[in-house]
Amino acid sequence: MRHQIRREARRHLPLRRSASGLAAGLVAVLAVGSSAGCSAGPASANSASADPASVRPTSVNSASASPTQASPTVAVSGGSACAGAPNSATTHTIQVGGKSRTFIEHLPSAATAGTAGAKHLAIIAFPGRGETDSELEAYSRLDGVNAVVLYAQGLNGEGAKSTWEATPYLGDSAHDYEFADDLVQWLAQAPCVDATRIDLTGKSDGAGFAASAACTISGVAAVATVSGAFYQDSNHCTASGHPLPVLNLHGSSDWVIPYDGNPARRLYGTDAWLQLWRQRDKCTGAGVEQALSADVTQTTWSGCADGSVVVNDRIAGGGHTWTVATAPSGPGATVGPIDSAQTIAAFFAAHPLPGAKP
């Protein structure tokens, strides 16, 4: 069944919106069938000139802040989220900034979907540079968690490789933040989604964009990053802003996006990235360290504002990979037994928007 969308007077980049503005932010989707198979694997990131800071949007400091610009006018004809069968995957298309953008919607299985009318956690996942939405779906195991999962597809940037804003490889003409905002608003209106539990995750460049988008748009409860590429000149996250729970997973032997960063490429090292988040979340006290396995050391900073928390999982010997991946996820060792998908889902389940029941 084909559904049509007409978008009018859409400004380039949305600011964080209040829950009361969700209805005006509803986007239409075009269901075009089941998700496709995988193509070539991820590519390594390389050095390039950074986007100027002048292209950054203005963000506000509260997850519940009111918008400072008018919501878009969107004419919708039919279609909605959650319309597929349990454990189904459907590819959708929306128009953003004059471009067709696609994403895969995967619904929980019948065994985990619960009773009719149940509201679920929702996750929006962004693949790494050179990856597709279907590749991320194939290796991440996120289809196996009890959540509605959207796998978003990036646009081609430098080197004709798909990627995201918040990197040096793609300019703001991509309208990626608007795309992410549309997906959040679409999920917030979905009948099977708990609007207080919409979260962002991603791998590599997609992880960097997930964090940057979470710092920029409204309605995001928490963010989790895997092998994240955090570019100092392109990422919108700063030490000030609304607090947000963050989980970082990164292999110590990742040579594509090194754990300790790369000054020549203007990549944050993990310690500096986590310090930014501890300042942003106003965390007090030292981190508490525990061994989750022989290979994974977790450090947690709590006592943070609005119930937020900063968590880092250092994966000894791990490469530029997704742990317990079910398909190739990048170069280097894939270390277990920590399951990134289940770890991320559990973190998200424990951290809804402030004021919601955990």
Q: Per-residue pLDDT tens for 148-196?
A: 999 999 999 999 999 999 999 998 889 999 999 999 999 999 899 999 9
Residue 204: HSE in the Cβ half-sphere, 13 Å Cα cutoff: 30
Q: Per-residue pLDDT tens for 256-308?
A: 999 999 999 999 999 999 999 999 999 998 999 999 999 999 999 999 999 99
pLDDT at 172 (0 to 100): 85
pLDDT at 116 (0 to 100): 58
Write out the two tokens for 234. 């392109």
Q: Per-residue pLDDT tens for 333-346?
A: 777 678 999 999 99
**28 pLDDT higher than 60:** no
Write out the two tokens for 71. 């919501």
What is the rounded average pLDDT of the residues 86-100?
90
Q: With contact defined as beta carbons under 8 Å apart, do 175 and 142 qualify? A: no
Question: How many whole angstroms from its chain centre is CA 346?
Answer: 15
**43 pLDDT higher than 70:** no
Go through the domains of the chain in sequence order and give each one's CATH number.
4-10+69-349 (3.40.50.1820)
Distance, in Å, from the CA atom of 358 to the CA atom of 72, rounded to the nearest integer, reads 32
